[in-house]
Amino acid sequence: MGAERVGPLITWNICEPASRKMHYYRYSNAEVSCWYKYLLFSYNIVFWLAGVVFLGVGLWAWSEKGVLSDLTKVTRLHGIDPVVLVLMVGVVMFTLGFAGCVGALRENICLLKFFCGTIVLIFFLELAVAVLAFLFQDWVRDRFREFFESNIRSYRDDIDLQNLIDSLQKANQCCGAYGPEDWDLNVYFNCSGASYSREKCGVPFSCCVPDPAQKVVNTQCGYDVRTQLKSKWDESIFTKGCIQALEGWLPRNIYIVAGVFIAISLLQIFGIFLAKTLISDIEAVKAGHHF
């Protein structure tokens, strides 16, 4: 029987000096951690499924509004369609989740670097926005006023935009950007003599002070309210603007806002850590093949 070789592979050449007769072939012990691999996969499958849900909801909403059969409706809207934001978030989450899942399972460095780089970019963009919003509060306030007034003009043009404004006004007990007069910007609520709308000189029902005795929402409670004396407005509608309401809401809930921001940041940092660790493992294994 032949001798069994144990240990490193040894070759001899009698023509060479003794110091050079023995050659060792090194084998790398590096391996890809299954723990990091499947943890990153689980992390990304949540993003991927959430992206699918966002895309499904957005496409369903567009289908209900007939946008899918006529995409020009999106460009004709003067305000912002909330469904567009839902779809944008869905596309980003779906793409990142897909890249992370496939990159982790297939140990694809290109996809993993794309996932990691995008998360890093989003993280620094969020940080930059937060810092700039704190430093340039007046500029942010003016942009938000322009945004809100633009959407007031399109209040009746899109049902999702209408629901968004109504939810904002009811939740914050406010009306308009700086007050009920802002609804003059909307052609249906305008007080000018040229308007023949039944809602003329009124406000949306979401501006109305709720009556605890009413179990059914009175959608006509804001009709003709602004034809009354201003001193009586606060008896039936909210007179505080939504910008003032939001400015007051933020200091009261600063710990909640900070907590949400920190939680999102930690999730992103955790995803970056998993991706970088897995990339390092894969590169170490590939480097070991060259020995």
Q: What is the pLDDT along the chain (291 residues), one digit of tens a residue?
A: 444 444 444 444 444 444 444 444 444 555 777 888 889 999 999 989 999 999 999 888 877 776 666 666 656 656 677 788 889 999 999 999 999 999 998 889 999 999 999 999 999 999 998 888 888 888 888 888 888 888 898 898 888 889 889 999 999 999 999 999 999 999 899 987 676 788 889 999 999 998 888 788 888 899 989 998 888 898 899 999 999 998 888 888 889 988 999 999 999 999 999 999 999 888 888 876 544
Nearest residue to 202 (alpha-carbon basis) of 146, 150, 156: 156
- Distance of CA 132 to CAs 125, 138, 143, 256, Å? 10, 11, 13, 20
Reported pTM: 0.73
**In contact, 27 and 291? CB cutoff 8 Å:** yes
The encoded tokens of residue 152 equal: 């007031």
Q: How far is CA 169 from the centre of its chain?
A: 22
Dihedral angle, C-alpha 43, 48, 54, 58, nearest 10 °:
170
Q: What phi and psi values does residue 179 have, to the nearest 5 degrees? A: 160, 175
Q: Tens digit of pLDDT for each residue in 47-83?
A: 899 999 999 998 888 777 766 666 666 566 566 777 8
Give dist(CA 11, CA 9) in Å, integer.
7
Question: Other CB atoms closer than 10 Å to residue 271's CB: what's the count?
Answer: 21
